[in-house]
Structure 1
Amino acid sequence: MTDSPRVAYFCMEYGLDHRLKTYAGGLGILAGDILKASKDLGVPMVGIGIRWADGYTEQSIGPDGQQVDGPQDSEADGLLEDTGVEVTVQIRGDDVRCKVWRTEAFGNVPLLLLDTALPGNPHADTTRMLYGGGDEARVAQEVVLGVGGVRALRALGLDVDLYHFNEGHALLAAFELVREKMGGGMDYDDALAATRDEVVFTTHTPVLAGNEEHPIERLRRIAGLDHVSDAQFDALGGSPFNMTVAALRVARKANAVAELHGATANEMWSSVDGRAEIVAITNGVHRPTWVDPAMLEAAATGGDLWAPHQANKRALLDFIAERTGQRLREDRLLVGFARRAATYKRAALIFEDEAHVRPALEEGRLQLVFSGKAHPRDEPGKAIVARLVEMARAYPQSVVFLEDYSMPIGRAMTRGADVWLNTPRRPKEASGTSGMKAAMNGVLNLSVLDGWWPEAFDPGVNGWQIGDGFESVDPTAHDAHDLGSLVSTLFDDVLPTYYDDRERWTSMMRASIESTRDRFSARRMVTEYVEELYRPALAEA
């Protein structure tokens, strides 16, 4: 797709490889897969991000079962190229130098990473830790990403047609584009209109409280932005200033990341006048990164799926034993759950009916493996991790918690589990790509009908549903409804099928792969970005 518009893709995090500590979770993994699929397709794209000195957070579990956070060791030596370019941004009125690194080491289009950790640099720790510090540190990081990112493109002579903001973190790039145009003689209104012709935006978080806001005074104090008045700030993003609202207003086109999320996002932001249309482009995953080619080959040729799956399962069991000393059984059902430890994802929901689950765990008929990090300041998320660790210690023969969730852990689990469990409170899961990876590996999804799963689920054919699309503003009622459905489906259908009907199980594995390998691939996603976002945005400009 070399005839695509030239795109600069801005994101706070990128999950390209576990050695490059530039990702925290799903947002970064998605961004990494987009850069790889763009390379595969020949899309003229360049990524813009930050080189984080300490990465996100290295998770360990203390003797008391609580999450302990520490810096991640950098393994970027030899993976990044020094461009020899530095750009300068203003943070709190100081000139801050940003070194520009580049990598194409992972089968990706070029990725530029900005770095403030330079000798004698004021605010050198701005790029120390991904999502580290408080709200003021976040604004400073967003200055580096947005303003510094645009200036890096200029310094390197990279011409682009469109600027794609993945979440609101990149919004300050739009202010830099406006500043450039005003410097060329336009007034603010004309500069904003011209900038809108160049911007597209992806929104993810379907929870109002999760969309970043700042007092206008904070933005001005940290980022400067003297070319914009308070009234112009207010007109764009309100007061306090909402980054998502402003991004929707400054973008020519916007997208949600699943069909259900598209409906949710359009309803959620329906009161925002002058916003971009939000279309649904469902996320996808980069098959060469995440999917075992032996499983794809067996499904495509009608070959045996059980043997390659069992090989992946043994690899996961060996990985677990090496990491934890716990040895699970190959001949027993293994259920996987790996994602960010956020409360709405309800990782520990299954244990709320311990009376039903306990016998199956004690007998070893049911095995559970979990992984996931809580943000260092997310105490409810840390409580979820502690609960999972408590259950792993209570049932060491059947329950495992893998510390320090990472790309290698995600890859091993989405290949080697038998079932992939997903229990978000609908409709709070925007998409959820781990289930796509599992499905393409023949791992059967047992999931709430949220995110991507309503588009993929074929009842009785390629997996199972939890609940019936139930939603409630009462979390207690919501949890009770979904827990009842989870337990009944697990014990009445999943377990009997696994142990008593191998033919049906492998038929469902084949259907899972065949129904997802193309439809939920990053190739399809990036193709739709070009056809439904990039080209239409330029055509309407």
Structure 2
Amino acid sequence: MSDKKLPQVAYFCMEFGLHEDFRIYSGGLGILAGDILKAAKDGGYPLIGVGILWRQGYTTQVFREDGRIYDCYPEYRYDFLQDTGVVVGVKIRGRWVHCKVWKCSQYDNVDLYLLDANLPGNCDPLVTGQLYGWFSEERIAQEMILGIGGVRALRTLGIYPDVYHFNDSHPVIAGVELIRLKMDDEGMDFEEAWRRTRQEIVFTTHTPIMAGNEVHGHDLLQYMGAYNGLTHEQLVRIGGDPFSMTVAGLRLSRKANAVAELHGHTARDMWRGVEGASEIIAITNGVHNGTWQDPRLARAYAAGSDLWGPHQAAKREMIAEIERRNGVKLDENVLTIGFARRAAPYKRGDLIFRRPEVIEPLLRDGKLQLIFSGKAHPNDLTGKGIITRLYEMAKRFPERVVFLQNYDMKIGKLLTRGCDVWLNNPVRPMEASGTSGMKAAMNGVLNFSVLDGWWPEGCRHGVNGWQIGDGHYHHDQDQADADALYYVLGNDILPLYYGNRAKWTEMMRASITMSQWQFSAARMVREYYHRLYLTDAAAAEYPFPEVPAYLRELPNCPNDGLYAGM
């Protein structure tokens, strides 16, 4: 693709998931960012990434022998990174913190620039140690390095992007730095500098849970140095009082996007009272086919040949890895359901166990196998409680329930290729997107999900997967969704798996057809350029190539009524 008319984009994100051995990610946000960098490389788009080199990663999370969760933080070396020779400074708590800038392009990704404070003699070398570690002061310091340090790194490297894309609210202090630069270097007043800066920034909002959107007190921001030359009044105008990072993202950008159609409705409703906010459109997430789709399944699908054989091969590989890790040998001929996600109460990882009298006989009789994995934030005791309950269920049913510890990209690949069914049962509409289901769908692993996140756009109940519930509010939502889960499992999924292999593989093919373009990172990046990075006039003129017909055989899901009232 020619980049002559396309703007150069700097994609800022707190984490990037490029490979399981490069531990600078925690979960879905980072995997999305990594997939975007890979899809941009595939398509020849002029995009670069800006992040932080987390020397201690997120957390290595395992169970002790006494059943308690243990978090540890080994320090990692990444000798494959390229030293750019650039060092930038950010003044934090009145002292300069210097950061070396590394470049990563090892994983078929566009260039990713990473800031690293782990330098001899630095006043705070541990600030880029743990991803999402510690508490408010350290979080603000890390966000200052990403935002202020990221802009300074690009300028020192001679890179002047046309568009700054803030993926979630962590990078918004970069907007403060861009305003300051216009005021100091170009002599603009605050109003003009803010107006001009907004034309350069776009913003992706993620979590639809209000408590998950960061808010900081101004006294702390000022003490940390996040004002960065601006005044209290100016920062209040940008982010409010207290300072909301998401509000700041909406007021610093010319356009914002949610990450699924349903999430677009939710986000517009959440932030409708923010004066001066940018328009929030919906651009549904996607995943990188080359990373997540098993090449054997992809070849079989493209050739129109048997899908069951390559699926079972992937399933056997998953079972062998589970035996190596857990000492448990699952049965490849038993229906296997997978669930792997960040541990959060709204995701309801243990919902399937709500009625033991229904689920336990299926486990004891050898009709069903369940595989779980996930991590909780080290300070999230509720999330750790969810993981502990799943771990205890695995001990109760050691031949039929498995919990894989220390969830990472490798486990994600194994499960989204090797399971038969992918379970997702969040409280609607709290799941912004849910990209693990897209990965499963590309591999013919059939989604069994609440109509939340991306699934209302892809679901054809009984054709390419199954829905849980009717997508509407109920007084006891847990009970309603559990009842719907058990009904579909018992009446649709189990009889089909054991009684009609031809129909099952037909659904697998429909799942791949539905997902491999519509929910791909290639489609997502293309849409970002069309609808977010380019102005409307420029997008109308740019000759993007047509999408191959075989990748867009199925139209969008006719579930528009599910968005009513959102």
Partners of 2:313 and 2:77 lie apart in 1 by 29
Partners of 2:387 and 2:137 lie apart in 1 by 28
Q: Residue in 2 aligned with 1:117?
A: 118
Per-residue deviation, 1:268: 0.7
Q: Which moved more, 1:69-78 or 1:81-90?
A: 69-78
Q: Residue in 2 aligned with 1:426?
A: 428
DSSP-derived class of the 1:169 partner? coil
Letter in 2 for 1:514: T
2:14 alignment partner, one of 6, 12, 15: 12
Partners of 1:28 and 1:537 lie apart in 2 by 29
Superposition pairs of residues 396-435 of structure 1, within 5 angstroms: 396-435=398-437
CA contact (8 A) 2:394 2:400 kept: yes
Superposition pairs of residues 174-189 of structure 1, within 5 angstroms: 174-183=175-184, 184-189=186-191
Q: Which moved more, 1:355-364 or 1:408-417?
A: 355-364
1:209 equivalent in alignment to 2:208? no
1:86 equivalent in alignment to 2:87? yes
- Identity of counterpart residues, as a percentage? 55
Per-residue deviation, 1:65: 2.3
Give CA deviations for 1:467-501 in whole Å, capped at 9, x if unaligned: 110235x6xx1111101111111111111110011
Letter in 2 for 1:166: N
Q: Residue in 2 aligned with 1:313?
A: 315
CA contact (8 A) 1:314 1:330 kept: yes
CA contact (8 A) 1:19 1:75 kept: no
Letter in 1 for 2:388: A
Partners of 2:226 and 2:361 lie apart in 1 by 61
Give CA deviations for 1:278-304 in whole Å, capped at 9, x if unaligned: 110000000000001221222222200
DSSP-derived class of the 1:56 partner? coil
Q: If the length of structure 1 is used for normalisation, what is the TM-score?
A: 0.97
Q: If the length of structure 2 is used for normalisation, what is the TM-score?
A: 0.93
Per-residue deviation, 1:120: 1.1
DSSP-derived class of the 2:22 partner? coil
Superposition pairs of residues 50-89 of structure 1, within 5 angstroms: 50-78=52-80, 80-89=81-90
Unaligned runs of 5+ in 1: none
DSSP-derived class of the 1:369 partner? strand
Partners of 2:74 and 2:338 lie apart in 1 by 25
Give CA deviations for 1:97-130 in whole Å, capped at 9, x if unaligned: 0100001000000000001111111111110100
Q: Residue in 1 aligned with 2:159?
A: 158
DSSP-derived class of the 1:8 partner? strand
CA contact (8 A) 1:212 1:242 kept: yes
Partners of 1:222 and 1:271 lie apart in 2 by 29
CA contact (8 A) 1:427 1:471 kept: no
Partners of 1:46 and 1:72 lie apart in 2 by 28
Superposition pairs of residues 467-486 of structure 1, within 5 angstroms: 467-471=469-473, 477-486=476-485
CA contact (8 A) 1:21 1:75 kept: no
Superposition pairs of residues 314-333 of structure 1, within 5 angstroms: 314-333=316-335
Partners of 1:5 and 1:224 lie apart in 2 by 29
Report how many aligned residue pairs link the two structures.
536
Give CA deviations for 1:347-395 in whole Å, capped at 9, x if unaligned: 1111111111011111221100000000000011000000000000000
CA contact (8 A) 1:19 1:76 kept: no
DSSP-derived class of the 1:170 partner? coil
CA contact (8 A) 2:55 2:77 kept: no
DSSP-derived class of the 2:170 partner? helix
Partners of 1:82 and 1:471 lie apart in 2 by 53
Partners of 2:269 and 2:445 lie apart in 1 by 33
Partners of 2:166 and 2:74 lie apart in 1 by 26
Per-residue deviation, 1:256: 0.4
**CA distance 1:538–1:67, shift in 2 (3 Å):** farther
Structure 1 stretches of 4+ moved >3 Å: 537-540
Letter in 1 for 2:122: N
DSSP-derived class of the 1:98 partner? strand
DSSP-derived class of the 1:447 partner? strand
Q: Residue in 1 aligned with 2:39?
A: 37
Q: Residue in 2 aligned with 1:295?
A: 297
Q: Residue in 2 aligned with 1:445?
A: 447
Partners of 1:256 and 1:300 lie apart in 2 by 32
Per-residue deviation, 1:73: 5.0
Q: Residue in 1 aligned with 2:234?
A: 232
**CA distance 1:299–1:6, shift in 2 (3 Å):** same
DSSP-derived class of the 1:312 partner? helix
DSSP-derived class of the 2:50 partner? strand
Partners of 2:67 and 2:189 lie apart in 1 by 58
CA contact (8 A) 1:371 1:401 kept: yes
Q: Residue in 1 aligned with 2:487?
A: 488
Partners of 2:537 and 2:128 lie apart in 1 by 33
Partners of 2:102 and 2:13 lie apart in 1 by 15
Give CA deviations for 1:146-201 in whole Å, capped at 9, x if unaligned: 00000000111112101000001000000010110001201111111110010000
Q: Residue in 2 aligned with 1:512?
A: 511
Q: Residue in 1 aligned with 2:357?
A: 355
Q: Residue in 1 aligned with 2:533?
A: 534
Superposition pairs of residues 139-150 of structure 1, within 5 angstroms: 139-150=140-151
Partners of 1:302 and 1:81 lie apart in 2 by 43
Give CA deviations for 1:225-258 in whole Å, capped at 9, x if unaligned: 2532222222221111000011101100100000
